Structure 1
């Protein structure tokens, strides 16, 4: 293979993505397609922000969510963006993807929460039928802003699809504004989800000084922790919390670019990835939202390599170990490990 034809190492590296919010993963290309279909929304004045990509600043990242909400208000559009997102992750070398999203209803288009989930699952199935080289699963998200009643409704919906989706729905995510509602309001819904057989991914410690809440969540315990920014002692957490997480070997979903752009960490080199990685704790690199934060999984691995002086062998191992933390069954993990090992010689023989 000529030098010109070689795929860069981080893109050729087979990868897992376990923390990808659907709406936040919509690319600017997909957004522009949607904008053309919705001229009445008059979103043209936001085009500069949408096209800024990696230069998009913190405030603009969160302004993007408002635009996305306007653009994804029907079953047809949820289906379209899901397919686009899946294909873009596949093009980046992601072989296993867990998407997550809060079911949404929109009276103006007759979209219900159930039809929202059905649209996502149909997009996943169609990508598989089209032989897109990626295994995709789905987590229904509980948005903290909805409160405990809506949370329990989401659990019931998840149960329905957990039974009927032939393994596509594998878990639940708790996310949303960490400053609203207390953890205690979500413990019962999360326990109910666990009792059904759903795995739990819980956003934790995205803002500091909520030790009581973190202890409640760790009492579940979650199957994975999202972000975990302020859990370790150097960030205001505690040795006791860290000991619980280490003892239970709860993997942490780490989103470098999202945290830097969201200003919850000072820099890439100051990211808490280093603390957990140096402990030998289960870590998985994720994007959070590849569209809004203008990144991809390959870029996150590249940033980790340069920021923390990791070798290509360490990057490979980080990706390979991520398979252990997926919510799909053991036979899927086994197949992925075989796939990784098949690809490994070609990856390291490039240079």
Structure 2
């Protein structure tokens, strides 16, 4: 369903809590990057997964490698982050938590610190331009880089948490789920938790992660990304489900991403329904709106049409997402006020 979402879903105020910066780059921004880097010989088809296409998880990660080649200077990052923020705002997203792994590029002089500073600069610029969206940042640990780099990433995130005036709010654990084991990253994640950073962890993305998931749920994280194989019907366990329920850990659920990445067979079998029926906090997200050719309005409409949600139920889902943000309580209250203000015109 790579079509326009209906007006109701566009106008619905939304919260996006699982958006990888480089995976959210739109076709329009890719075009601008291709013009800047003709020597790379990158074709547009290498940067997105279009309508009706499926890719293995490994192939999805190949797409990111191509995008990383295109985004390797401070100038690129500033443009990409600014475009992504404005596109989310245009889609009715009022609060956004972006996530990205700080990268260094020897050939362009980009450092990890400058990487984070540049993303924060884009957030600040959009604020100064009165773009109608509140944006925060999660510094991502790429699990492929091992324990030492993970600890360095946490230290960097802590530094920015203290100096960014509330813009850096947490840590994301992501990267190829088939590489490494979460137990090696526990010290870094515990350190992040101890210093007040919130944790959003990609968990149970593949079936082989049951033991790791069990271990990481004991931290516990503040939110779970995907959680595809947590419940027993798909190879998880009741124990894992109980841990999630006991700690009331919200799930960030990305329907199109999971279907196109083939970790879920079809929309009707998406695990959103399992958790939604339990009344557990679920937040609909895009994951990578550029790579998977979607946006948050489409994801809400897909969930509604697939699982028979009324407009009132969709509104409630969007409103409940505010509680799952890593924003301070005062900001959550501002968002609730905004939702209350907008409701009459959305339902008119």
Alignment of 1:98-247 (within 5 A): 98-247=97-246
SS of aligned partner of 2:267: coil
CA spacing shift, 1:194–1:114, aligned 2, 3 Å: same
Distance across 2 between alignment mates of 1:51 and 1:102 = 20
Q: CA deviation at 1:49?
A: 4.7
More displaced stretch, 238-247 vs 250-259:
238-247
Contact 2:47/2:64, CA 8 A, preserved across alignment: no
Q: CA deviation at 1:222?
A: 0.1
Contact 1:320/1:340, CA 8 A, preserved across alignment: yes
Distance across 1 between alignment mates of 2:27 and 2:276 = 32
Q: CA deviation at 1:209?
A: 3.7
Q: Does 1:54 align with 2:51?
A: yes
SS of aligned partner of 1:109: coil
Distance across 2 between alignment mates of 1:61 and 1:102 = 17
Distance across 2 between alignment mates of 1:213 and 1:15 = 32
Q: CA deviation at 1:151?
A: 0.1
Distance across 2 between alignment mates of 1:229 and 1:345 = 35
Distance across 1 between alignment mates of 2:48 and 2:344 = 38
Contact 2:26/2:289, CA 8 A, preserved across alignment: yes
What does residue 3 of structure 2 align with? none
SS of aligned partner of 2:268: coil
Alignment of 1:296-307 (within 5 A): 296-307=295-306
What does residue 3 of structure 1 align with? none
What does residue 28 of structure 1 align with? 27
What does residue 4 of structure 1 align with? none
Structure 2, unaligned runs of 5 or more? 1-5
TM-score (norm 2): 0.96
User: Over the residues paired in the alignment, what is the CA RMSD in angstroms?
Assistant: 1.4
Q: CA deviation at 1:42?
A: 1.8
Q: Does 1:17 align with 2:4?
A: no
Alignment of 1:265-344 (within 5 A): 265-344=264-343
Q: CA deviation at 1:39?
A: 1.3
Contact 1:173/1:202, CA 8 A, preserved across alignment: yes
What does residue 64 of structure 2 align with? 65
SS of aligned partner of 2:327: coil
Distance across 1 between alignment mates of 2:49 and 2:104 = 30
Runs of 4+ in 1 over 6 A off after TM superposition: none
What does residue 78 of structure 1 align with? 77
Distance across 1 between alignment mates of 2:60 and 2:87 = 19
More displaced stretch, 321-330 vs 238-247:
238-247
Equivalent residues, number:
342
Distance across 2 between alignment mates of 1:211 and 1:106 = 35
SS of aligned partner of 2:343: helix
Contact 1:209/1:237, CA 8 A, preserved across alignment: no
Structure 1, unaligned runs of 5 or more? 1-6
SS of aligned partner of 1:108: coil
Distance across 2 between alignment mates of 1:71 and 1:235 = 37
Q: CA deviation at 1:214?
A: 1.1
